[in-house]
Structure 1
């Protein structure tokens, strides 16, 4: 199995807002999404990053327009979903599976581009989205206009997946493809239903921990930001226990990768070929 991550956009933030004790200097954060080349499932997307649908699309409501105006993401044209797929000789219709780690705009804004894909996501979190009013969903950072109209029809919920137990410091979770290659690990705190992806078969096990923190330093140096960053967390009390799980994983020799950390990794584009696991 191979995996590569692309950077859909850059977002600026003051360091001290995302790193306790940091400076006021601006940090350019990445907005990653992934592309897995799986032996039996074929090409699989992990989220979609930011796409024009979230920032200039005609379906945007007033609050999504305000969201874009406040955060001011700078789209990275070369690493948007469509050109990245083309780089690997793929079209959107070649993607039959998208893993949706959680429902924030910078992870789902391109779902409407994938007309033939099923969506592996938290069906429990989706049920809560459906039960809320539009205003309540906005308070949870969910803009429902970004979901394809047939999202529920194509939803392949985590509850249907076999559970793998934690072992030797390696987290357990839902076995997404039934072969142990990709495990969805529950990572509460940042967003309702957020899960990361464990690639245990790599020479050094990799855990893509999505948005547990914005910076890897906040995790490894135990410098998670407090107020006001915690205001936008789904469950602020869960952030530290989740971070502790990741530090334990690092201590056992695993590797943690985050969606927004600006430092390049071995799995990031640009490169001529995806990295082998």
Structure 2
């Protein structure tokens, strides 16, 4: 199988957005009003050329992401703390075509979660089956979802994903899981914290697992140091997710690919597994 990592634009966030400080509302305010910004971070999307069909993991950010938004009412504050750099050519559809692949041929689009830098390319995949965890869908959809920070008013009208109800059977340290492929080599696991219904994708390459981790952490270092971000919905759940990922990686050599880690593409190319903290 061939795996493609694509950078669909870039984002700068505040340092306290990436590395949270404080608790409760104070933590969010620290993230929003921090004056120190990161450098440009990638917005990664992943494509697996699987024998059962093309699998896309997340869809990147739309090229108009910096334009004003009307929901939720605090969105201007969030936009101040997260600045995007993306052109129409950076969007996932054109980039797939430049790889010689056809967006119309994508079988599955798996959404780790539904924040705007992950759901901005939904419209590029008219024939795909979209896969979202039920918990994420319930939190993100409707008026409640807009108040929770999701831009669901921008989703295509035809967006009607398959909702994942995880089987209550363990998969290593994960209490539940769901198989995506008939071959059983692509597994979905719940990884809540950054969002309530966040999921990650595990691809079994034999001796190595490739973990497409979304926003479970911003970098591998943040994972290993058990460092939660500043905008997640549940700090304790995010740290517990980190512990489960590390426990899985201790038993299964794992290449860890979060969406905004500048080193992720090189780790994929090198098949560099998680470096545990000594």
Shared fold by TM > 0.5? yes
Number of residue pairs the alignment of both structures matches: 253
Larger RCO, structure (CA 8 Å, separation 6 or more): 1
Q: CA separation in 1, counterparts of 2:221 and 2:122?
A: 31
Tell me, which stretches of 5 or more residues in structure 1 are unaligned?
none
Partner of 2:100: 89
Are residue 235 (structure 1) and residue 241 (structure 2) matched? no
Q: CA deviation at 1:222?
A: 3.0
Tell me, in whole angstroms, the C-alpha distance in 2 between the residues paired with 1:211 and 1:251: 20
User: 2-side partners of 1:197 and 1:119: how far apart?
Assistant: 14
After the TM superposition, list the runs of 4 or more consecutive aligned residues in structure 1 that deviate by more than 6 angstroms: 161-164
- The alpha carbon displacement at 1:162 in A equals 6.2
Residues 139, 234 of structure 1: alpha-carbon distance in 2 compared, 3 angstrom cutoff:
farther
Compute the displacement of 1:50 (Å).
Answer: 0.8
* 1:144-183 aligned within 5 A: 144-152=152-160, 155-159=161-165, 165-167=170-172, 173-183=177-187
Cα deviation, residue 165, structure 1: 3.3
Residue of structure 1 in register with 2:45 after alignment: 33
* 1:81-122 alpha-carbon deviations (Å, 9 max, x no partner): 123211222233222321111111111111022112221111
The structure 1 residue matched to 2:123, chosen from 87, 112, 121, is 112
Question: Which residue pairs with 2:244 in the alignment?
Answer: 245
Q: Taking structure 1 as reference, are residues 12 and 202 closer, same or farther at Cα in structure 2, changes over 3 Å only?
A: farther
Q: Answer yes or no: is the 8 Å Cα contact 1:187–1:242 preserved in 2.
A: yes
Give the match's secondary structure for 2:218: coil
Question: TM-score, with normalisation over the residues of structure 1?
Answer: 0.78
TM norm structure 2: 0.78
Instruction: Provide, for residues 164-217 of structure 1, a one-character-per-residue CA deviation record: whole Å limited to 9, x for no partner.
Output: 6324x6885110122212111100111131100011234321212211111221
Does the CA-based 8 Å contact 2:9-2:86 persist in structure 1? yes
Partners of 2:16 and 2:81 in 1: how far apart?
18
